[in-house]
Structures are given as structure tokens and as C-alpha cells.
Structure 1
Amino acid sequence: MDGGFNGENADSEQESSVVNTGRRCFVIMPFGVRTEPISGRTYDFDAVYNRLIEPVVRGLGIECIRSDKVSQAGMIHKEMIEYIVNSELAIVDITMGNPNVMYELGVRHTARRSGTVIIRDAGSNIPFNIAGMRAVDYTVPSGESPEEDDILAESQSLLESIISNSLDRRTQDSLVHTVVPGLNVALPAKVIATRARHLYPAAADKQFEIITGDIGNIDDVDAWVNPENTRMELARMHDASVSALIRYRGSYRDKRGHVTRDAVYGELRRVLGGRTWAGVEPGTVVTTPPGALRRSNGVKLLIHVAAHHGEPGKGYQLIKSFTNCVTNSLEAIDEYNSKFTTKMQSSSMIRSVLFPLFGNRGRSGSQQEVTSEIVETAHEYLLSWPDTKIARIGFLAYTDSDLEQVEIALKRTGLCRSKVCRNGKD
């Protein structure tokens, strides 16, 4: 790896005015000044980075890292691959067809189905083996005359538009994933240990939230949605699922932690009555008291929604009409709130609800689409029923992948994050 850009030429006052979205862009390109052997043309790649790429990326609130900055002794290849695979956005400059650049582009296209922007100097040629891929032409003049500033500004505007479109739409841009649909080589999602609330105002007195961390640490949401199966069986207490955690945390236990009363399961059986073995129709909502979750987490109501359907030998799959689960859950809350008619009773109303990202585990390329439809359905509900007493709709982001998916989904609805509250506090 060569180069020498130190990344410290940016105006500190300008940097402080940029809102960091938590996104990261990894820039794959040659470094320094290079001369093409055949044409004899010279390219200043540091100028391309300093004047075009870095200002545009940083202006969008995205952390910008160029590949020559990954230089920890003995770990360069490991770090390089991790940045290529894990960065939400990658910009790849294929000017001159540098072998390192082409190799890293191949790794990126194998790892990510979207989020890769290929660029090149407008006067250069595209290597024949990627000639079918779209490359954004740029021009970075060597001078700083008004005419040349206009040319640079045009390239910056085009790059900004392409980046925004790539992040918002998530259109597949990888040849590898086009040829091999369903391929998934990404590193496992990382659990988010820190509890935080990412706030997205939606209306005068309404807002969406992304709540990160373990659901067991959340204590400021009135109602929790439990994505249950159509048999309404609840998971075993020690399973790794939201259903299992709700069942265990909702139970009453002795000093050794042993369950003395399986409260949530008992309430669900009681509400369903006889013939519980028959289950319910897909999308059906059953509400129950929260058991011990009222004391430990401040939960007022549990909303069990039949979001999964099981088949012998096939396991459980998300129902096709999964968006009905969102609508039906919100309708159930409004119906619950309707019985509180006096001002004195208003404190008992459900004003906030938490949705886990049900149904998106292991769905490969469709995970983003599932999350986007869940978020869009909730947004449509608020628009359709402005008088609802629900003021906060939260989505649980247990991993960095969850967080990225909900951020994209909310942005697609036109909502912008206002702030992040650490540890759940403003």
C-alpha cells in the first residue's frame, strides 16, 4: 500500500458543523500522482480525494476513510477486508485499472449487494472486464479559476446525488449478487451493547424512535409487541428470542431465579380460552397484562401478534401479510385506549409502543425490504389516524445490522433524525 494523504487538511470549523450520521464510507483508490504508461497521462489521486470525494462524503455526515489509512503493522489485510465488507458505502476509483483497486472491488461486490459507487476520471478508459458496470465520470481541474470551480462543483453535485441514491434506494449494484442471488458472505451482525434512542419526529406530537441494545434494559415504553406464531405458544424461556425473554421477564420468580408463576403464558391461555391448540389466524392480535414486566420494565400491555406460521419439517416462516401485524397491533392499542374516557384515566393510556424487527432474520437480500415495509406501514398508520393517542413508535435495534436497516427505512419515508439520547435519556 502506498500514498501519503494524512487527512488533516480539512477546515476544523467546517468539520464541527457537519452532523455525523454514524455511517462510514471506505474509499478504494490509488494514492499520490500516477502516470499511465501507455498514454503518458498524469493523474493526481490525492487531489481527487481532497477536492472531490472527501468533501462530498463528509458533507453528507458520513465518516470517510481512505484505504491508505488502514496501516496497522501486521494487520493490514485483515483490517482492509473488514472495512471493505462492513462499510455501508464504498467509493471505488477505477481510473488506470490499478490491480489492488480491482481486487478490492471484487471483494466488495462479493460481500455487498449494494452500496458501491464506482467512479473514474472522465478521460480514462474502463477495463474491459467491468465495462458493463456503471461508472460515474468526474473532472477535478488542477486550477482554481471560477470556470474550473464550476466544473468541480458539477462533479461534486453528481457524486453527492449518486451516493444519496445508493444509500436511500439500496438498488443492487453488484454483478456477483446479480449472477448469484441470495449470496451472503457478510460478517455476523454485531450486538449493540449501549442503550440509546434515535429520535425521528413524524408529526406535531408524534415521533419514531430506534431503540438500541437489549430489550430487557428498556424501561420507558408502555407496550411491547411480541411477534408470536399462529399457535400462540410462546417460546421456551431460555430460547434466544423476544418471545422467550418476554415470557421469562414477565414471570414471577423466587430469590434463586426459579419461576414460581408463568404469568404471561397463563394470561395468554386464559384469554384464548378453550381449543387453544387450534391457534389463531395469521395477523391476529391478542393482548395480555405484562406480568412482572410491569414492575421491572414499566410495561403496561403486551401485544402478541401472529406473525409466523409453522409447518412440520419446515420451521416457522414470516406470514405473507406481515404488514397487517403492524396495523393490527396499533389498532389494538387505540382500542385499548378508547376505554379511558376521563382525564383522570389518561395516565393509564398506552402512548408508546416497541416493535422488534420480526421476520427479517436470515432473509438475505429481502431483510431491508421487510424492515422498510414494517416502518412504512407504521408511518402510514400515523398519517391515516392523526388523532391516535400513540405518540412514540419505537423499533428495536439489537444489532448494528438492525440499526442500519431501520435508519434506511425511516429515511425512505422522508423522516430525518433529530438527535440521539444516550442510555434512553434526553
Structure 2
Amino acid sequence: MTQTCFVIMPFGIKEDASGRAFSFDDLYEFLIKDAIAQMEGVEALRCDEISEAGWIHSTMIKHIAEAPLAVVDISTLNPNVFYELGVRHALKPSGTVLIRREGTESPFNIEGFNCIDYDLGDGDKRREFQRRLQAFLNNARSQPQHSDSLVYDVLPDLRVERGPSICERKPRFLWDTHIYPYRLVAQPEKEICLVAGDWRDIKHCDVWVNSENTNMQMARFYERSVSGLIRYLGATKSITGDIEKDTVALELAAALGGAGRVEKAAVVPTGPGLLAQTNNVKAVFHVASVEGELGFGYRPIAGIERCVRNALQMADASRFRELHLESMLFAIMGTGTAGGDLADLAARQIGAAVDYLELNPASAIKRVCFSAFTDVMLETLTAAVAAIPNLERPEP
């Protein structure tokens, strides 16, 4: 899935802070845009390239708020640029890279931030600038949990809720199961599905994916989590519902062989326990999608979308061929106790599933499902799917 890098900078020929005039259009076309074009899965966008109807300032703010990556040129010390940088830092904790013409001094409030210098006249320095810009952007992509915003450094618990029509109401739990399929344009036989409802009523997915911590410690039976639900539903129980054998958790512990932790994004498969009988589940894949830190709790791992790719690769492994695995069920990982942003994580994880299916047309997996427990989750996942041009709704 291609990510947008929104470039915030002046247009045309302008003077920098020292009075030196140069073409910002040339800077954008031949240094910034060219460097980003060489990166896989990223495309540059400047405000003057947006071909949308409506007030240009509202469109610009939308891209400042939504783009996973942004490059901000502070060379002119222009108030408009600093206003837009302030909006970006207030709305996005990470993914912002500052650049400036060599010799420009950063204002006091941002002088502590890393800033990449460029020189338009020196070929070696131009190439070094492009190399560093690519490195900064790749670091921001792989480590989105690392803040580059002073706002979030000072206020680490700050949260920006998207869409007042969604977040101003109390989420409503979806009890009835409904499936919303989206076909891959290039492979109509493959589908990404949004599944609304209770996991206990889902009986059409061969693999259930359990978002787990790097210690592979399953949640307690009655905690509000997929991990606890899978643990309970997979266990054998007495006629009164008491646990007789903690089947899935015991098998997971045995698979670890005494190891206290696994690598980030690692996948540990187990059997489904009683879920094989009740929900037609053939395997459970436990994925290390969050990590704990003493005193701070859990947080999503960097590059959490790797968990989706690794789980799909595991399903295609030869060891599972005899199970004829064709469908998988995910919750959006990192949004529970780890507190990750649902909209951002949904876009990245659904995009990773689409990318895997497109890059692996021989994959045995025909349907990748993402669950939504509430109406707010369903609306957020629907918006994420709608933003992927590689998907289409089948005709009713």
C-alpha cells in the first residue's frame, strides 16, 4: 500500500532567511520528489498538486493531518510554514521530517529538532541530502511509536480523536454477524472482508489470529480481549462451564519450550482446542504484536503490519498444506491494552494483507477477514478499506 509524504514548503522563487533567492519548485522536483520516488511504497505530494474541488486551505489541513509522512522546509522562516508545522505536530506524534537550506538557523522553539540541510549547487551534497532524507523517512515508517513532535514529548498521553460524528457517541456493540466482502481488483477470487459481530458466532474462518505480547502470555479468561476469548473458547469445560483443561494456553507454553519471550512480529501456531468443534477453526496463530515496558504497560511494536504478513506467510507454509487453510480472521492488532490509534493501525494492517495477496498470487489464502466489534470500529475499518484503490465491492 502506497503511503503519502506531504511536502510543506513555499512555491516558486523565494528568498531564504538570509535573503538568497532560489526556486523552491526546482528543489521539490529535483531533490525532494526525486528522492521520495526512489523509495518503495511512498509518493510525494505538494499542495499545488492536489486536484480536488473545495477550499485549498481545508484540503491542505486534511493532508497535513492524515499523511503518514511529512517533509517541512523551514528555510524562509515563513509564518505560514510554521503554522502548518504546528498543526502537524499537534495532530501527528511522528512521521515529520524538517529540512532547511544550508546556513539557515532554526528558531529557538525548534532548534533542538534534527533538521536535514541541503545545498542546491553541490552535487555531492545534493546526493547526501537525498540519502539522509530517505533514511529519516524510512526510520519514521518503521518506528511510528517514536515521537518527533514536541507536543507529544511534553504531553505523551495526548490523543486526537478523528471524526466527531464517530467519536462523540458511545460505541454500540454489534451482536449480529455480518460479512462485508471486498474483492482484489487484480485477483477477483481473493477477498478482504470486514466481519461485524461477536467472534463466538464466527464459523467460517480456518485460522484465528491472536494478537499477543512478546512474552506470549495469554490474557485471563474473562478479560475483554481476543486473547482471553480464544483461551476460554478453546478450553475444555465442564457441564457448568468451569475450565477443565486450558488447552490453547498449555499448547502455546509447550511450543515456546521454556522461552520467556519471542521476537517482535513472531508467529507461534497452536491447535484450536475446542474451537475446532464449535467454530470450525483449524489453527490459532499467536502473533507478537505488542511489547511491555515496566511501569508503562503495553504498546504496539514498530512496523506492526509485519504481523499480518508473517501470519499469512505461516498459513502458506508447507507444514499446514494438509489443513487446506483458505481463510483467516484478524482483529486490528495493537488497539486494545496497547492503546494504538485504530484508524492508523487499521489502514496499515489491511493494506499489508492486500499487499501480501497481490505479491503472492499463488497463496492458498482466499479470504482475509478483519473483525469489528462495535459500530465505530466498523465505520473506521470501512473508511480504511475505501481508501485502498486495489479493492472493490462486488455487485450485490
TM-score relative to the length of structure 1: 0.54
2:245 is the counterpart of 1:284:
no
The CA deviation at 1:165 is 1.6
State the percentage of identical aligned residues: 29
The CA deviation at 1:68 is 3.1
Alignment of structure 1 residues 27-426 onto 2, 5 Å: 27-36=7-16, 39-60=18-39, 61-70=41-50, 75-141=55-121, 148-170=122-144, 171-187=146-162, 195=182, 212-215=192-195, 221-225=205-209, 230-231=220-221, 271-274=236-239, 276=241, 284=249, 330-332=269-271, 350=282, 368-369=300-301, 372=304, 375=307, 387=319, 389=321, 396=330, 401-406=344-349, 418=359, 422=391
Counterparts of 1:269 and 1:121, CA distance in 2: 60
Counterparts of 2:120 and 2:35, CA distance in 1: 13
The CA deviation at 1:377 is 12
Q: Which amino acid aligns with 1:96?
A: T
- Answer yes or no: is the 8 Å Cα contact 2:205–2:329 preserved in 1: no
How many positions carry a matched residue from both structures?
Answer: 308
The CA deviation at 1:112 is 1.3
Q: Which amino acid aligns with 2:34?
A: P
SS at match of 2:43: strand
- Answer yes or no: is the 8 Å Cα contact 1:115–1:166 preserved in 2: yes
Change (3 A) 1:156 1:270: closer
Change (3 A) 1:370 1:99: closer
CA deviation string 1:135-158 (max 9, x = no partner)? 1112223xxxxxx44442232222
Counterparts of 1:419 and 1:382, CA distance in 2: 13
- Give the aligned CA root-mean-square deviation in angstroms: 5.5
Q: Which amino acid aligns with 1:418?
A: L
SS at match of 1:97: coil
The CA deviation at 1:29 is 0.7
Counterparts of 1:112 and 1:282, CA distance in 2: 42
Counterparts of 1:355 and 1:393, CA distance in 2: 16
The structure with the larger Rg is: 1
Counterparts of 1:83 and 1:108, CA distance in 2: 9
Change (3 A) 1:194 1:349: closer
SS at match of 1:284: helix
CA deviation string 1:196-230 (max 9, x = no partner)? 5799xxxxxxxxxx974413699985233578973
Change (3 A) 1:116 1:43: same
Change (3 A) 1:371 1:274: farther
SS at match of 1:95: coil
- Answer yes or no: is the 8 Å Cα contact 2:6–2:71 preserved in 1: yes
Counterparts of 1:186 and 1:372, CA distance in 2: 21
TM-score relative to the length of structure 2: 0.58
The CA deviation at 1:333 is 5.3
- Answer yes or no: is the 8 Å Cα contact 2:142–2:303 preserved in 1: no
Q: Which amino acid aligns with 2:182?
A: R
SS at match of 2:158: coil
The CA deviation at 1:45 is 0.8
- Answer yes or no: is the 8 Å Cα contact 1:56–1:160 preserved in 2: yes
CA deviation string 1:38-74 (max 9, x = no partner)? 7321132111100011122222232321123457565
The CA deviation at 1:375 is 2.2
| Unpaired segments ≥5 residues, structure 2 | 167-178, 212-217, 253-259, 333-341, 362-389
CA deviation string 1:335-354 (max 9, x = no partner)? 999xxxxxxxxxx994x767
Change (3 A) 1:198 1:221: farther
The CA deviation at 1:92 is 0.6
Counterparts of 1:397 and 1:181, CA distance in 2: 25
Q: Which amino acid aligns with 1:93?
A: D
CA deviation string 1:88-146 (max 9, x = no partner)? 101111111111111111111111111111111122221222100111112223xxxxx
Change (3 A) 1:270 1:336: closer
Q: Which amino acid aligns with 2:147?
A: Q
SS at match of 2:19: coil
Change (3 A) 1:419 1:96: farther
- Answer yes or no: is the 8 Å Cα contact 2:11–2:25 preserved in 1: yes
Change (3 A) 1:104 1:282: farther
2:3 is the counterpart of 1:23:
yes
Counterparts of 2:74 and 2:80, CA distance in 1: 10
Q: Which amino acid aligns with 2:307?
A: V
